[in-house]
Amino acid sequence: MQIFGLKNCDTCRKALKTLENATFFDVRDEPLPDELLRRALAEFPDDLLNTRSTTWRGLSAEEQARPVLELLKAHPALMKRPLFLREDGKMFLGWTAKTQTQITAA
């Protein structure tokens, strides 16, 4: 299991603590590969961009109007997190009870 998020994100830390064998990638230090970012955007088109974040509120209207892919590359903290990639290739977003159940299902 791979987890993509921010090392100072409480939700990411909770997920990593629960999924002890997971590998964590801080998207500020190691940006998501383009292919994975595109795939995540295709799978979670309305949810991948976190428009409730402080980073989002700090952007100008002009910046906010940029394509989502460009925004996520320029500002990795705008990604809703954590993003999970299971060994079977299945992706999950967020750390909800539903996601936790799905992640542990084989």
Edge to edge, what strands does the sheet with 2-5 contain?
Answer: 23-26, 2-5, 83-85, 91-93
User: What's the rounded mean pLDDT across residues 15-43?
Assistant: 94
Which positions are catalytic? 9
pLDDT beyond 70 at 43? yes
Q: What whole-number percentage of the chain has pLDDT above 90?
A: 92
User: What's the rounded mean pLDDT across residues 60-77?
Assistant: 94
